[in-house]
Structure 1
Amino acid sequence: MRQRKFTHKILWIATLMIYLYLLTKLILFKGGSVDFEIVRVQFMAFLHQPDLIHTRTVNLTPFQEISRDWNSLSLHRPGTAIHLVGNVLAFIPMGVFIPVLMGYKWLSGANVFLLSLLLSLGYEVTQLLTGMGIFDVDDLMLNTLGGLIGYIMFTMVIGMKQLLVGGESRVAKKNYNAKESHV
């Protein structure tokens, strides 16, 4: 049983690594081939010329891009919907990986919030420092929301499983003792 649990955890970790690779490919390399040498070269260029930070496009105004994308949603501009929905969908798996790998503790939701935010912040700061994208506070919010939606969906599935399959109830139950008189 212990070996099975260990194997199960290793599979989850391997799946998490694949997910993070694909997420990095999507966010930093815009779906192209992953080449961390490019990231290193871009970062070293920034270190040699820190004034490059002023040439980067940055959005620090919450809801600016979200409202712009929302207002321009149409069938003729599918990129806006992809930006809105894609940022949320990309982080939904985080809402599953975190509670599974960290255990189903009552603070799992807070862990999902914090780790989704930190992972998204890591990508956004990397984009800022390397110029491989745009630092956008709205992306932070949408990515974190995606992690929380994934967590809510995960807890709903676990709850439905416990209802359908059964499991320990959190309600205290009184054990029946046949030797006691019952009136």
Structure 2
Amino acid sequence: MRIEEIIEIIGENFFLAFIAVVVLVILFYFGYFIVYRKLLGGNKKISKRQLLVGTMLMGYVIMVIGVTFLGSRGSNYQGWIGLSLFNSYREAWHNASVRHWQFVILNIVMFVPLGTLLPLLHAIFQKIKWTVGVAIIFTLSIESFQYVTGFGIFDVDDLLNNVFGAIIGYGIIMGFTRMRSKGFQQVIKYNIPLILIVFLFSSLLTYYHLKEFGNLSIVPNKKVDMTQVTTILDIELEESVISAPIYKAPVYTKEEGDLFATTFFEKKGIHVSDMETIYYQNEGIYRNDLRFKALGGSYDYTDFSIYNEGMKPKDVDEETLINRLMDLDIVIPQDTFFKKMETGAYKWNAPNIVSDNQLIDGELTVRYYEDDTIKSIENRLITYDKIKNIEMKSELEAYEELVSGNFHTTLRMKK
């Protein structure tokens, strides 16, 4: 999730929170100053700090509710529940995905303001048990409402992360307010949870980058319940261990992606001195025409003149297509399979072509039009470099893991 996406989500819900807070402030003013103080003669005063913090707390709660229930997900998760503790951490670790880790971290960060504001609101919340208690009730209410309405999944990891975020917020504000009177040691003491989470994530990141091949997304987060499953085996499985080559896809930097896009458009005769570019985590979008992926170097290109009136696809022979592609520095590997899909649409398929210490895999799809140009390219041909040979699991070992439920599945627990 990009910073722009986070800012957009906050912006979408800020106006709602602002309007709601204004309404609630007006109602509070009427109830407190008019009804309680004047009509009922109440004498209990509320400090300016409590009014300010209370207003901020109301705005925060409304924004959390808006982000949680008024997003674009819709009511699509009726009955979904996740009771496997730390499942989101295992999923993020196995996928090695920044986006997965972002959701974990955002669930923590989202409740930091709650832990920060409550001790400022009232002295009772300066005792951590009361702040944690409110955090538990609040996040439990959110998760339960998500479960009932289907606007999300009841997930114990969300409960854990939210409460931990509130504890971090509590530590930050208590350490700051007690620093003058009790010294820097108290700041460290209160912020142990924050130090712990920073150390944990830093250690995981360091350990991952020290691993030779990273992680596999197909590694299961938990075992599948196989008690109601019957397995039948009517073939003999090999027990011997075999070796297989490991290949690595190229990874391109942002600068290399920019250079590729500039060169590509120059080959197309397109002026790119002021090229509009949008960068995502692992890809860049150039002029809205070209999408280049950093991992592997695959890309999509669309010339939007295909939508012009009268523009129609045209059939052409393979040799002409190859010559047009060579003008764009696109070379078709040997031993690929050529196929016509429909009028003007063609595909080359490279099914694991091994050459020396490289492996070429994927496919290339192009669309040719009546003005004798290629206006659409989907290049999924990736050249992998061989790293080394490693030992694989035997067929029998792999089968035993499947029988034991040790395999990846996208299914979630549903009541």
Q: What TM-score comes out, normalization by structure 2 length?
A: 0.31
Q: In structure 2, which of residues 168, 174, 192 is the aligned counterpart of residue 149 of structure 1?
A: 168
Aligned to 1:23: 64
Give the 3-state SS of the residue equivalent to 1:132 in structure 2.
coil
Which among 89, 100, 120 is matched to residue 66 of structure 1?
89
Q: RMSD of the alignment, in Å?
A: 2.5
1:14 aligns with 2:55: yes
* Inter-partner Cα distance in structure 1 for 2:63 and 2:96: 27
Identical positions, percent: 24
Q: Tell me, in whole angstroms, the C-alpha distance in 2 between the residues paired with 1:105 and 1:22.
A: 22
Deviation readout 1:144-171 (Å, 9 max, x if unpaired): 000001111111111224368xxxxxxx
Residue-pair matches, total: 138
- Whether the aligned pair in 2 keeps the contact of 1:88 and 1:145 (CA below 8 Å) is yes
Structure whose residues are more often helix by fraction: 1
User: Hey, what does 1:159 align to over in structure 2?
Assistant: 178
Which contiguous aligned blocks of 4+ residues in structure 1 show a shift greater than 3 angstroms?
A: 161-164
Change (3 A) 1:25 1:161: farther
**1:82 to 2:105 alignment:** no
CA offsets per residue over residues 35-58 of structure 1, 9 Å max, x none?
Answer: xxx9xxx7xxxxxxxxxx9x5211
Contact 1:98 1:111 in 2 (8 A): no
Q: Which consecutive residues of structure 1, in runs of 5 or more, have no partner in the other structure?
A: 33-37, 43-52, 165-183
- 2:111 maps to 91
Cα distance change on mapping 1:70 and 1:154 into 2, 3 Å? farther
Which residue does the alignment assign to 2:120? Answer: 100
The Cα offsets for residues 115-159 of structure 1, whole Å up to 9 and x where unpaired, read as 111100000001000001111000000000000011111111112
Matched, 1:137 2:137: no
Identify if the C-alpha distance between structure 1 residues 5 and 161 changes in structure 2 by more than 3 Å, giving closer, same or farther. farther
* DSSP-derived class of the 2:88 partner: helix
Q: Deviations over 1:95-126 (max 9, x none)?
A: 112211121666x2111111111100000001
Partner AA of 1:56 in structure 2: G
Paired residues of 2:125 and 2:131 also in contact (CA < 8 A): no
Equivalents in 2 of 1:24, 1:104: separation in Å? 25
Residue of structure 2 equivalent to 1:47: none
TM-score, normalising length: structure 1: 0.67
Rounded to whole Å, the distance in 2 between the matches of 1:162 and 1:71 is: 45
> CA offsets per residue over residues 22-46 of structure 1, 9 Å max, x none?
111112223x6xxxxx9xxx7xxxx
Q: Is the 8 A contact 2:50 2:122 kept in 1?
A: no
| Higher Cα radius of gyration | 2
Distance 2:153 2:62 in 1: 20
> Which residue matches 1:114?
133
Letter in 2 for 1:100: L
* Higher normalized contact order (CA 8 Å, seq sep 6+, divided by chain length): 1
CA displacement at 1:72 relative to structure 2: 2.2
Aligned CA distance change for structure 1 residues 28 and 105 (closer, same or farther; 3 Å) = closer
Contact 2:119–2:125 (Cα < 8 Å) also in 1: yes
1:49 alignment partner in structure 2: none
- Report the 3-state secondary structure (helix = DSSP H, G, I; strand = E; otherwise coil) of the residue aligned with 1:93: helix
Bigger proportion of residues as strand: 2
- In 2, the alpha carbon distance for the partners of 1:15 and 1:161 equals 25
CA–CA distance in 2 between the matches of 1:14 and 1:73?
40
Q: Alpha carbons of 1:68 and 1:131: their partners in 2 closer, same or farther (altered >3 Å)?
A: same
Residue of structure 1 in register with 2:254 after alignment: none
